[in-house]
């Protein structure tokens, strides 16, 4: 069964450093998303991406964040200058024609 994959599974970085989280969505999906879950809190929407542009973003998704689909398969989330409060699990999701979003296993980001 096709699945969303994410790398790395765990990323440790120093505050102020840039990180890039990578995702390979399900191949025939056209809609892509990033969510995050801070420990003990709920899963929060960050951004949605369709047709090579951001279609919606949340208040969390400020100028420090960017997304890109550099080729036909990868979908990346970049955080330019990480802060301690960016420590969280980051989930990539994709969907096709239905409203069901399929999630990847997540990347645990730890900012020291």
Q: Which of 49, 43, 61 is nearest to 23 (CA)?
A: 49
- Positive or negative CA dihedral for 56, 108, 98, 73? positive
Q: How many CB atoms lie within 10 A of CB 40?
A: 5
Total number of residues that touch another protein (CB under 8 A): 26
How far apart CA 90 and CA 2 sit, in angstroms, is: 20
Closest to another protein by CB, 10 or 81: 10
x-marked contacts with another protein along 25-64 as a string, rule CB under 8 A: ------x-x-x-----xxxxx--x-x----xx-x------
Interface with another protein by CB under 8 A: which residues? 4, 6, 31, 33, 35, 41-45, 48, 50, 55-56, 58, 91, 93, 99-106, 108
């Amino acid at each position: 069964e096709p699945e969303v994959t994410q790398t790395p599974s765990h990323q440790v970085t120093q505050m102020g450093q840039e990180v890039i989280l990578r995702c390979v969505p399900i191949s025939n999906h056209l809609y892509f998303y990033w969510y995050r879950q801070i420990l003990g809190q709920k899963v929060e929407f960050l951004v949605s991406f369709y047709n090579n542009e951001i279609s919606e973003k949340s208040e969390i998704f400020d100028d420090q964040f960017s997304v890109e689909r550099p080729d036909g398969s990868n979908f990346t989330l970049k955080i330019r200058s990480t802060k301690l409060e960016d420590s969280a699990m980051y989930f990539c999701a994709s969907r096709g024609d239905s409203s069901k979003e399929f999630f990847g296993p997540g990347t645990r980001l730890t900012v020291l």
